């Protein structure tokens, strides 16, 4: 049964915490991309939504989720608590692996800013459960001690007009022993606000995910099953 695109706001429960998310599953999806947002950002991030929409057109499902509750986000330090953000990502991965919506889809991660550090930390812990990682303007240097444990093919994307983050990523790149690539987008600042630069990020991410996430031949569940999940 061809359902077309399945898209809705949902809540994902991690222990006693309920996290708000947007999930989109195109028909015949090849895999699902879990977004790890940067500090102070969440499921409404315009940049990550742009990338997510781009990926969906290539039959990649996406999950944009707030990794912190509204109350937790009021504590500024939580936005930089990489271990807490990592625990949330790992809980969401487990949910994706067991929920009828997504249990047949290979999982990859897209991280931005501090979210990229959490994504790579998660990949180091979960190893082959994470098929690929893409970092946009990320801070992978924040988790250098675990980068050698990452086995997921990893793409680091940085703006050409963002010298400090270029240097942070160079340091981290040297510690990655997995399949890896480092892309600098010319003319882009840290937030990729310049015309065409965010589209370049989306194109690079799509190419990476399509190459490494693998082909999924199992159809997604029926409408009735999805609504009951």
What is the rounded distance in angstroms from the CA atom of residue 217 to the CA atom of residue 1?
13
pLDDT at residue 4 in the model: 57
Nearest CA among 141, 90, 149 for reference residue 124: 149
Percent of the chain that is helix, strand, coil (3-state, to 5): 40, 25, 35
What is the rounded distance in angstroms from the CA atom of residue 100 to the CA atom of residue 223?
11
Which tokens in the block code for residue 1? Answer: 């049964």
pLDDT tier at 214, thresholds 50, 70, 90: low
Q: Degrees (nearest 5) of the Cα angle 73, 79, 82? A: 135
Which residues have CB under 8 Å from 76's CB, separation 6+? none
For 146, 195, 210, the CA distances from 31, given in Å and listed in that order, are: 25, 29, 9
pLDDT digits (tens, 9 = 90+) for 2-47: 345 778 899 999 989 999 999 999 999 999 999 998 766 778 788 8
Domains of the chain by start residue, with CATH: 6-228 (3.40.50.1820)
For 28, 69, 76, 118, 189, the CA distances from 172, given in Å and listed in that order, are: 35, 29, 25, 14, 19
pLDDT digits (tens, 9 = 90+) for 96-146: 999 998 999 999 999 999 999 999 999 999 999 999 999 999 999 999 999
Torsion angle defined by CA atoms of residues 125, 129, 134 and 138, in that order, rounded to the nearest 10 degrees: -20
pLDDT at residue 43 in the model: 84
Which tokens in the block code for residue 173? Answer: 């790149």
Read off the pLDDT of each residue in 194-201 and give the average, rounded to a whole number.
96
pLDDT at residue 181 in the model: 98
Which tokens in the block code for residue 143? Answer: 């988790």
pLDDT at residue 80 in the model: 85
Half-sphere CA count of 221, side-chain side, radius 13 A: 14
What is the rounded distance in angstroms from the CA atom of residue 15 to the CA atom of residue 138?
28
CA terminus-to-terminus distance, the chain? 18
Which tokens in the block code for residue 185? Answer: 């987008």
CB atoms within 10 A of CB 117: 28
DSSP 16-30: TEEEEEEEEE-TT--
Please tell me whether the overall predicted TM-score, pTM, comes out greater than 0.85 for this model.
Answer: yes
């Amino acid at each position: 049964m061809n359902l077309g695109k399945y898209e809705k706001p949902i809540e994902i429960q991690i222990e006693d915490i309920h996290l708000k998310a947007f999930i989109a599953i195109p028909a015949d999806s090849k895999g699902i991309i879990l977004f790890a947002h940067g500090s102070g950002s969440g499921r409404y991030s315009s940049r990550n939504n742009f990338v997510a929409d781009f990926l969906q057109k290539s039959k990649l499902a996406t999950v944009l989720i707030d990794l912190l509750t509204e109350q937790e986000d009021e504590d500024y330090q939580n936005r930089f608590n990489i271990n807490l953000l990592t625990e949330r990502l790992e809980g969401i991965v487990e949910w994706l692996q067991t929920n009828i919506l997504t249990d047949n889809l290979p999982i990859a991660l897209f991280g931005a800013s501090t979210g990229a550090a959490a994504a790579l930390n998660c990949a180091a812990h979960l190893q082959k459960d994470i098929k690929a990682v893409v970092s946009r303007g990320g801070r992978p240097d924040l988790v250098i001690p675990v980068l050698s444990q990452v086995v997921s093919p990893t793409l680091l994307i940085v703006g050409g007009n963002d010298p400090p983050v270029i240097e942070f990523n160079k340091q981290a790149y040297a510690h990655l022993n997995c399949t890896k690539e480092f892309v600098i987008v010319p003319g882009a600042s840290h937030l990729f606000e310049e015309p065409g630069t965010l589209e370049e990020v989306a194109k690079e991410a799509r190419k990476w995910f399509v190459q490494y996430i693998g082909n999924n031949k199992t159809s997604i569940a029926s409408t009735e099953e999805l609504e009951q999940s």
